Amino acid sequence: MGIVVRTPNRVDLAGGTLDIYPLYLFEGGSVTVNIAIQLWSTTTIEKQRDLKIHLKSDDLKKEILFESFEACHVNNELDLLCRAVLYYAPKQGFKMTTKNEAPHGSGLGASSALLMAVSAGLNELGKSGLSIAEIIDVGSSLEAQTIRIPTGKQDYLAAMHGGINAFRFSEAGITRHKIDYSRKEIEALESRMILSYTGIPHFSGENNWTIMRRYIDGESSTVSALRNIKGTALKMRDAVIKRDWDAIAELLKEEWENRKALAVGVTTPVVEHLMAKAKEAGAKASKLCGAGGGGCMITWVDPDKKERVSKVLAKEGASLLPFKVSEEGLQIQSDRSSKKISLSKKTLKS
């Protein structure tokens, strides 16, 4: 079996972009509310008797074979995987296969979730002993090196912890507020959410870099929109805690209006068409996941309208993605054990 690691993807309800350092410091702290979902990013590591390192991405249909660790290099089609290998520096040969269940450019944090699975697998292979917080910090640095743009951490956090969370970012670091729902309450939430892929892949880094640059330059519309996003996220956290479904719907609309004000390209004619059709069919609110520009969309409905709205979205060209809330985060199985990595409270508050 070797080592098999999987991590959940996430849908973000509010507060995205303000998880990027140092934007949240400029605003005196921020909150991001997200939900881990059972669309998985998976890494399998098989030990080899020789010293070759074989990297294979099933969903990207790319693979690279290095004759040894010393031959491994970056700036290739699997750059991020190579950077992780070079950082964790395994002392043996192996074949690593990766796969994302989410569509490419989904906005569900799939690439970040996969990086966490890869990193945790390499951490296990080499017995490096890094904590969850340390794996997240390293991953954030590696991804920034690959995309050449600052990265946020909400995707890593959802992948590692699972569940429904409000993450606070401040001068003191990251604080996790785990929002506990009963199974019945989770089912009530799931019955109100539709997840669909718009058919337009997106690259969140480009939008986030544009937003950060405009904020630092003091562009008033961007500064105002980010402050509105922060306020909406705080209200969303309270609404999710209270299980106030109507308030969540209103705040999703508010979040989407705030996000569209951040930069040109956050929305597209196709996205606006899908949202309009969903509203005509009875949807209460829709927003794109992640930084926008395409990818996946969440649509909030009353349970009795879910089937009708889903059919309309499918008819208009969106791909429906059935999902469940993932109460578990990072999961590791190996020849030696099956476990969930425990949180190091010294490096990340829970």
54-94 per-position pLDDT tens digit: 999 999 999 999 999 999 999 999 999 999 999 999 999 99
- Averaged pLDDT for residues 289-296: 91
Residue 319: its pLDDT value, please?
97
Distance CA 288, CA 299 (A): 9
Q: Percent of the chain scored above 90 by pLDDT?
A: 87
Bridge partners (DSSP) listed for residue 41 = 7, 100
285, 249 Cβ separation under 8 angstroms: yes
Residue 340 has pLDDT above 70, yes or no: no
- Averaged pLDDT for residues 117-125: 97
Residue 206: its pLDDT value, please?
62
Min mean pLDDT across 57-61, 246-250, 331-335, 346-350 is at 346-350
Instruction: Please state, as a whole number, how many other Cβ atoms lie within 10 Å of the Cβ of residue 283.
Output: 25
- Averaged pLDDT for residues 19-44: 97
What's the whole-number average pLDDT of the chain?
93
Give the length of the chain: 350
Identify which of 161, 223, 168, 199 has the alpha carbon closest to the alpha carbon of residue 14. Answer: 168
Distance of CA 102 to the CA centre of its chain: 11
Global model pTM greater than 0.85: yes
Residue 350: its pLDDT value, please?
35
Encoded amino acid at 116, one letter: M
Token output for 207: 């939008």
191, 303 Cβ separation under 8 angstroms: yes
Helix (H) or strand (E) holding 45: strand 30-47
Distance CA 2, CA 130 (A): 20
**Residue 349 confidence class, pLDDT cut points 50, 70, 90:** very low
The answer to whether the Cα torsion of 233, 238, 241, 245 is positive or negative is negative
State pLDDT tens for residues 264-292: 888 999 999 999 999 999 999 999 999 88
Residue 152 has pLDDT above 60, yes or no: yes
Min mean pLDDT across 38-42, 227-231, 336-340 is at 336-340
State pLDDT tens for residues 162-203: 999 999 999 999 999 999 999 999 999 999 999 999 999 876
**Residue 293 confidence class, pLDDT cut points 50, 70, 90:** confident
Min mean pLDDT across 138-152, 204-218, 318-332 is at 204-218
**Residue 346 confidence class, pLDDT cut points 50, 70, 90:** very low
Residue 43 has pLDDT above 90, yes or no: yes
Residue 337: its pLDDT value, please?
60
Token look-up 């999703």 returns: 252
9, 37 Cβ separation under 8 angstroms: yes
Residues 111, 116, 120, 121, Cα dihedral to 10°: -10
Distance CA 46, CA 61 (A): 19
Residue 151 has pLDDT above 70, yes or no: yes
121, 5 Cβ separation under 8 angstroms: yes
Bridge partners (DSSP) listed for residue 349 = 175
Identify which of 283, 296, 177 has the alpha carbon closest to the alpha carbon of residue 237. Answer: 177
Angle of CA points 306, 310, 313, to nearest 5°: 145
Distance CA 313, CA 207 (A): 25
Angle of CA points 91, 6, 340, to nearest 5°: 85
Classify burial at 345, counting beta carbons within 10 Å of its beta carbon; exposed 0-12, middle 13-18, buried 19 or more. Answer: exposed
Name, of 52-61, 202-211, 327-336, the range with top average pLDDT. Answer: 52-61
DSSP 177-206: EE----HHHHHHHHTTEEEEE-S----HHH
244, 251 Cβ separation under 8 angstroms: no
96, 56 Cβ separation under 8 angstroms: yes
